[in-house]
Amino acid sequence: MTVAVNSTASALRPPAKMVRAVNSTVRINYGADGHIIYDTGKGICTVYQGKETVFTGVSSSVKIKGKLISSKDYKISAYAKTSVSNGFGKGFKHTFTLSGNGLPQMQQVFYTYPKKSYFFTETIISGTGISTSHIVPFEGGLRNIPGESRTLFIPFDNDTFISYDAKPFKAPVASVSAEAGVVYDNDSRGGVIAGSLEHMNWKTGVFTNASADGNTIKVLAGYTEESVTRDKLPHGEISGKSVKSPLIFIGYFSDWRIGMDAYARDNRIAEPPFVFNWKKSTPVGWNSWGVIQDKLNYEKAVKVADFFADSLKGFRAGNTAYVDLDSYWDNMIKGGLEGDFSQLKAFADHCKAKGLKPGVYWAPFTDWGFKGGADRKVDGSDYKFGEIWTKIGNEYHELDGARALDPTHPGTQQRIAYVIKKLKDCGFKMIKIDFLGHAAVESNHFYDKKITTGMQAYRRGMEYLVSQLGDQMLIYAAISPSLASGRYVHSRRVACDAFKSIKDTQYTLNSVSYGWWQTYLYNYIDADHVVLENESEGQNRARMLSAIVTGTFITGDDFSKTGQWTARAKEWYQNKELLKVIFNGKAFEPVDGNTGTGASAMFTKKAGNDFYLAVFNYKSDTSSFTIDANRIGLTADKTYVMSELIEDNQITLTGKTTIELPYADAKIYKIKLAPVGH
C-alpha cells in the first residue's frame, strides 16, 4: 500500500479549478521560506530556498520509442492547485498539464507542505499505447556548493563489497548515485538532496555534474548499470494509458544529515512497511557465519547456545538474545530440504529451553546448485530448476556464485512456501534472508507477463515471502537493495560481510558514515557479525564499537570453544552502559563526510538525556583527534564531563580537547548534557 497521493488514478482525475496559464509564471510556496517559480510558457521552473537560488531551468522528459520528449517541447500548459492530506501531512498538489504539438499529454506535479522545507515532484505521461523505460522527472542547473563540496555515491545494494563514495565536487567531475543523490559542503554541512521515494516499479539514478559551465543534476527513473544495479539488461518498460515516475524528494538543507534523516523517514511514509511492525527489543545475539561457517553442526551450535545461557547471561536486550544459524544449517538435516528436520528442531527447542531465541538463514531467490543441471527437482514443487531460473537474454543471471530465480514463477513461490513452513514448524524466531538483489534484476521476460521490471518482480517476490513468514520471526536482510527493502524487513545489514580486522571495521563504518539514515527506513540497521578471535585488544574494541554505533549487536566468534575471545566477550558484552547505548535501536550519525570510500573517525548519538561520542583510529600509527564541542553538536563555551564507557576514564571538554588513540583502536564516551556547574 502506498500513500494515496502517489496513485496514478488520482493523478488522472481532472484537476479541480483548472486555470489556463500560457506564457506566464506561477509561484508555488513550500515550507517557511521556499518557493518555486514555474514558467508555463517554457515548461521549466526555478527553485529558491530563502533568497538563494537552488535549482534553475528545471524540466521533465520522457523517452518513447527512442524519442525524447521534454516539458520544454509543449506549447499549451494549464495549472491547478488542490488540497491534499496524507501521511506527509496537510499540503497542496500543484499540477501543470502540458499538451499540444501532437505530443502525449504530460503532467508535472509538485507536492508542497507548509511544515516541510522541501517538496516532492513526479511526472506522468498519458496517451495511446504509452510505453517507456526512461522518465526524467527533475533535471536542471544546480547551485554552487561552496567550501569542501562533495557528491555522494549511494550504492543500490550492499553486494560485492561495494562502498559509499563521497567524491570531491569540483569541475570537471560527473557522478551517478543509486536512488538518491547528495551534494554538500562538509565544512558548513549545507547541501542539496534529490531522491526517489517509491521503489515498486523503477530503479532510479541521480546524476550530478560539475563543469566550467556550471553544475547540473538529473534524476532518471529507468537507471541500470551492471556495476551498481547488477543488471546485464536495460531497464524494463512500463506500459499503459498513463505511466508515472516515482515520487521524488527535492530539497536544500543547512545540514545534509538532517535532510537524509527526513528522506529516510519519508520513504517509510511513501511506501509503508508490508511486514508487521517490530515492537520488541533491539536485536542482540550471535550468527554462525562469523567463524564457524561451513563447519556448522548440531554439537557446535548447542555449545554456543550453552555459552550464551551460562556465561553471557548479561548480554541481552529486553531479556532476549538470538542464536542464529547461518548458511550450512542443512548440515543438521538428512535427505535435503525434503528430508528430516528433527535435529534442526531439536536445536531450536534447546535454545528456547535455555531462554534464547533460535534463528536461521535462507537465500530464497538463489540456486546454489545450478551446476548440477536444469533437470533437478525444485524442493516442494513439481517444477525443474531450469524452469524457474531468471532469464537474461539467452542466458541466466548469475552473481556471487548463485543463479537467480524468477520471483514471479509458481515454482519459486512453492519452494518458498515449503521451506518457510519447515522452518516455522521448527520454531525459529528470527530469519536472516540473503542475496535478495537476485530477485530485483531486469529480465527479458518474467513468468508473470504483467511484470516487466526488476523492481516489480522484487515486490512480487518479497511480498510473497513475507506473507509466508507471517508474524513469527524477526526478519533480517543481509545482501539486499538498500531502499526498496524497507517495506519487507525489520533489520538490514548496512554493508557486505565484515569480520575482525580494522579494515573490516572501517569498511562497515563507511556504510554508517554515509548510510546511517537508513536507521529511519528500517526498525534497525546492523554491522554484521562482530568477530574478536585472536586480533589485538584495540582491533577487538573497534570492531565491537562498529556494531554499537549501528544500534544493534550481533556477535560471531566460535563460542563452542575457549579462547581470548571468550574472556573479552564475558567482560565487554555484559557491560550495562555499553548495552544501554543500543536499547533505542538507532544508529549514530557521522561528524564528517569527506572521507571518500573511507569512514568518519567520529560518530555521535543523542538518546534521551545521554549524548554519546565514538572515536575510531583506522590510521597506521598512534594519532591525535580533536574533539570540537561545536562540531559534534554541543555548546562551544560550556564544560562537559566525558566518561569513557569501557575503561571508565573521564576527561573534560571545553570548546576543544585532544585525545590520542593507538593504531586500530576506538573509544566511546558518554557525555552529560547538563554542563558542569549548571
What's at 281, amino acid-wise? S
Quote the cell numbers at residue 360.
536461521
Helix (H, G, I), strand (E, B) or coil at 540: helix
How much of the chain exceeds pLDDT 90, in percent?
A: 93
What are the pLDDT digits (tens) for 411-451? 999 999 999 999 999 999 999 999 999 999 999 999 999 99
CA 47 to CA 28: how far, in whole Å?
Answer: 9
Only one residue has cell 550464551, namely 308
What are the pLDDT digits (tens) for 159-195? 999 999 999 999 999 999 999 999 999 999 999 999 9
Q: 384: Cβ–Cβ under 8 A, 6 or more apart, which residues?
A: 374, 375, 376, 377, 378, 411
For domain 284-581, give its CATH number from 3.20.20.70, 3.40.50.300, 3.90.950.10, 2.40.50.140. Answer: 3.20.20.70
CA 51 to CA 49: how far, in whole Å?
Answer: 6
Residue 675 has a pLDDT of 53
Residue 21 has a pLDDT of 53
What are the pLDDT digits (tens) for 637-666? 999 999 999 988 999 999 999 999 999 999
Q: 160: Cβ–Cβ under 8 A, 6 or more apart, which residues?
A: 400, 496
What are the pLDDT digits (tens) for 12-27? 334 444 454 555 899 9
Residue 331 main-chain phi, psi, to 5 deg:
-65, -20
Cα-based distances in Å from 590 to 42, 274, 386, 594:
42, 30, 46, 10
CA 225 to CA 202: how far, in whole Å?
Answer: 13
Q: Say whether 589-672 and 18-270 share the same fold.
A: no
Residue 96 CA neighbour count, 13 Å, CB half? 34
Specify the pTM: 0.95
Q: Where are the domains positioned within the chain?
A: 18-270, 284-581, 589-672
Is CATH 3.30.70.20 the right assignment for the domain spanning 18-270? no
How much of the chain exceeds pLDDT 70, in percent?
A: 96
Helix (H, G, I), strand (E, B) or coil at 564: helix
Residues 79 and 107: beta-carbon distance below 8 Å: no
Query: What CATH code would you report for 589-672?
Result: 2.60.40.1180
Give the residue among 369, 614, 350 at the shortest CA–CA distance from 508: 614
What are the pLDDT digits (tens) for 482-506? 999 999 999 999 999 999 999 999 9
What are the pLDDT digits (tens) for 385-407? 999 999 999 999 999 999 999 99
What's at 235, amino acid-wise? H
